[in-house]
């Protein structure tokens, strides 16, 4: 063993036998592999070969992240047209909301990539805890154009329900005034 120079003799180190070193190294590798496969990969990438991630409930992050393909989910844009893609997984409902002040107006247009979806365009007042909401439109369609003016400050937007067995992509084009928007 050689010390590299005289001024750093302070680095004390652990002295292990070779077999112990191998044991510790292998352990760290195996521990990392297990954590990766059962926790990190399912949560981060929805890669879940063992099914452990699903059992632990860790794949939920991806239901959310996979549905928000738009990376402009919280931008303060005024008078610009924005196109947002929302993925509605099979057998699930997804809510996409815009935070708007009272009397702000939003013009919208959306189309699915296939089947018609049941939807509820509604608003919830800011700070409300009772669960109250007001629906503006409830129907089933694969394409809707329109506009609405927020009757109160709060979050306004769509609830889409996908009863089919395949993911449906909704392309939403909006133009108007709002503070921010995103999946809820």
Partner 1 sequence: MFNSFHRYGALSFIALIAILLPLEVFAHGVDESTRNFLQNNTGVQIIPFLYIGAKHMVTGYDHLLFLVGVLFFLYKSRDVLLYVSMFTLGHSVTLLFGVVSDIQVNAYLIDAIIGLSVVYKGFDNLGGFKNTIGFTPNPKAAVLIFGLFHGFGLATKLQEFQLPTDGLIANLIAFNVGVELGQFSALAFILLLINFWRKHASFNRFATNTNCLLMSAGFMLIGFQLTGYFTS
- Residue nearer to partner 1 on the CB measure, 43 or 172: 43
CB of 135 to partner 1, least distance (A): 29
CB of 165 to partner 1, least distance (A): 25
- Residue nearer to partner 1 on the CB measure, 75 or 92: 75
- Residue nearer to partner 1 on the CB measure, 44 or 120: 44
- Residue nearer to partner 1 on the CB measure, 49 or 115: 49
CB of 87 to partner 1, least distance (A): 17
Q: Which three-class secondary structure string do you get for the chain?
A: CCCCCCCCCCCCCCCCCHHHHHHHHHHHHHHHHHHHHHHHHHHHHCCCCCCHHHHCCCCHHHHHHHHECCCCCCCCCEEEEEEEEEEECCCCEEEEEEEECCCCEEEEEEEECCCCEEEEEEEEECCCCCCCCEEEEEEEECEEEEEEECCCCEEEEEEEECCCCCCEEEEEEEEEECCEEEEC
Task: Give contact residues for partner 1 (rule: CB under 8 A).
Answer: 1-2, 4, 7-8, 10-16, 18, 21, 24-25, 27-29, 31-33, 35-36, 40-41, 43-45, 47, 73-76
CB of 8 to partner 1, least distance (A): 6
């Amino acid at each position: 063993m050689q010390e590299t120079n005289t001024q750093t003799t302070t680095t004390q180190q652990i002295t292990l036998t070779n077999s112990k070193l191998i044991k510790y190294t292998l352990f760290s590798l195996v521990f990392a592999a297990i954590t990766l496969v059962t926790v990190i990969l399912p949560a981060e990438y929805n890669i879940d070969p063992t099914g452990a991630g699903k059992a632990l409930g860790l794949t939920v992050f991806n239901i959310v992240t996979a549905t928000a393909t738009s990376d402009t989910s919280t931008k303060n844009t005024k008078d610009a047209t924005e196109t947002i893609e929302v993925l509605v997984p099979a057998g699930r409902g997804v809510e996409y909301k815009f935070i708007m002040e009272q009397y702000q107006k939003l013009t919208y247009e959306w189309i699915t990539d296939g089947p018609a979806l049941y939807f509820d365009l509604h608003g919830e007042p800011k700070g409300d805890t009772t669960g109250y909401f007001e629906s503006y439109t409830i129907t089933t369609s694969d394409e809707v154009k329109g506009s609405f003016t927020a009757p109160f400050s709060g979050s306004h937007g769509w609830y889409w329900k996908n009863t089919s067995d395949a993911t449906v992509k909704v392309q939403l084009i909006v133009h108007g005034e709002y503070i921010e928007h995103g999946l809820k």
